[in-house]
């Protein structure tokens, strides 16, 4: 089934909760410009702007299909551990991804707490930190 550029854009807008007019505004296109693409191929610079706003390839907008290279693309600037994490994450279903993101959020939160922790004030007896790698609580010593 051949789909038009307009159909592909409309589908992506729906998935991202965006309206066509909102997309036109974000891509700096005139009102109604995208609806004209129902029966014609847009200029490359306009299509490029739309692809950037929708975070997709021009190929997808034109054909409705991603190239195998872009489907499996992983940023070459990533370290090996980041690449491995992303590959594993992509194998999870929606529910499992939510669990993983929740756990990562917990780790980031704990890290921020530790980074922002100051030595206890004189009216505080002690601070108590939970350390995931230890079973017992960690009570930092007051520094004089």
Tokens encoding 27: 């891509």
Three-state secondary structure call for residue 84: helix
Confidence (pLDDT) at 126: 56
Confidence (pLDDT) at 21: 92
Of 6, 4, 60, 61, residue with least CA distance to 33: 6
User: How would residue 121 be classed by pLDDT, with cut points 50, 70 and 90?
Assistant: low
Confidence (pLDDT) at 71: 45
Distance separating alpha carbons of residues 45 and 50, to the nearest angstrom: 9
For residue 24, the 8-state DSSP code is: H
Q: State the average pLDDT over residues 93-104.
A: 88
Burial string for 95-120 (b: 16+ CB within 10 Å, else e) reads: eeeeeeeeeeeeeeeeeeeeeeeeee
CB contact set of 64 (below 8 Å; sequence gap of 6+):
3, 7, 8, 11
Confidence (pLDDT) at 43: 92
Q: Which tens digits make up the pLDDT trace of 17-58? A: 899 999 999 999 999 999 999 888 889 999 999 999 998 888
The ranges assigned to domains in the chain are 5-71, 77-144
Select the CATH number that applies to the domain covering 5-71 from these four: 3.30.360.10, 2.30.110.10, 3.30.465.10, 1.10.260.40: 1.10.260.40
User: How would residue 4 be classed by pLDDT, with cut points 50, 70 and 90?
Assistant: confident
Distance separating alpha carbons of residues 116 and 90, to the nearest angstrom: 33
What is each CA distance from 36 to 20, 29, 111, 129, in whole angstroms? Answer: 12, 12, 51, 60
Confidence (pLDDT) at 138: 55
Q: Which tens digits make up the pLDDT trace of 46-91? A: 999 999 999 888 888 988 887 544 444 555 566 788 888 888 888 8
């Amino acid at each position: 089934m051949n789909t038009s550029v307009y159909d592909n854009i409309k589908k992506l807008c729906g998935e991202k909760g965006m309206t066509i007019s909102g997309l036109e505004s974000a891509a700096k296109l005139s009102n109604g410009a995208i609806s004209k693409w129902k029966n014609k191929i847009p200029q490359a610079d306009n299509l490029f702007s739309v692809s950037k706003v929708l975070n997709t390839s021009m190929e997808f907008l034109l054909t409705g299909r991603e190239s195998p290279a872009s489907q499996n693309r992983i940023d070459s600037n990533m370290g090996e551990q980041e690449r491995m994490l992303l590959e594993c994450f992509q194998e999870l279903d929606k529910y499992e991804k939510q669990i993983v993101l929740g756990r990562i959020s917990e780790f980031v939160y704990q890290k921020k707490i530790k980074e922002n922790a100051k030595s206890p004030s004189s009216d505080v007896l002690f601070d108590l930190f939970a350390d995931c790698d230890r079973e017992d609580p960690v009570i930092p010593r007051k520094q004089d």
